[in-house]
Chain A
């Protein structure tokens, strides 16, 4: 059971927009920055978003992040078949002094 809660799966058609939610509590998301990671099949996770809404160099602006209270959201616009992957949210848990992750959301581009 992951500390952060994500929907197991989402799907949308190519070119459309999708959002993935990540729910936590005041000890994690509520008082810390959120990151998002993309994991393509058979590869290591890759950082997509950090500090709630910042993109590392090389990440297209089709990917966006936001946070409100104890929840965060990843948005992907202009969906491509290459976006099919598992997406994970992550943050710090202040009460555990550890990093915590969501259970992951599988994105299917129909």
Chain B
């Protein structure tokens, strides 16, 4: 079982609020990722990190920001939540091992912005 955690699991919040979605992993993985996924739709990469102090934007434009101050922690922040941010947010991590570099996913945070 993957040791990657996300909190909160569910969040309902009003428009304009600042929120931070937490993601932590205890596997010592250097690489961490945030995906956004609407119900029944594709995974979209919104942010990733190769290690401490490294962050990059993904393929899908996002108004969120991330930070990577510690290896195990990769929080995602929305400064001002809007209804268009309503979605499921999945955190993942991986370790490069030859050509086998499985991504382990957290349980996800389901965000609803009213």
A binds B: no
Q: Please list the residues of chain B having a beta carbon within 8 angstroms of any beta carbon in chain A.
A: none
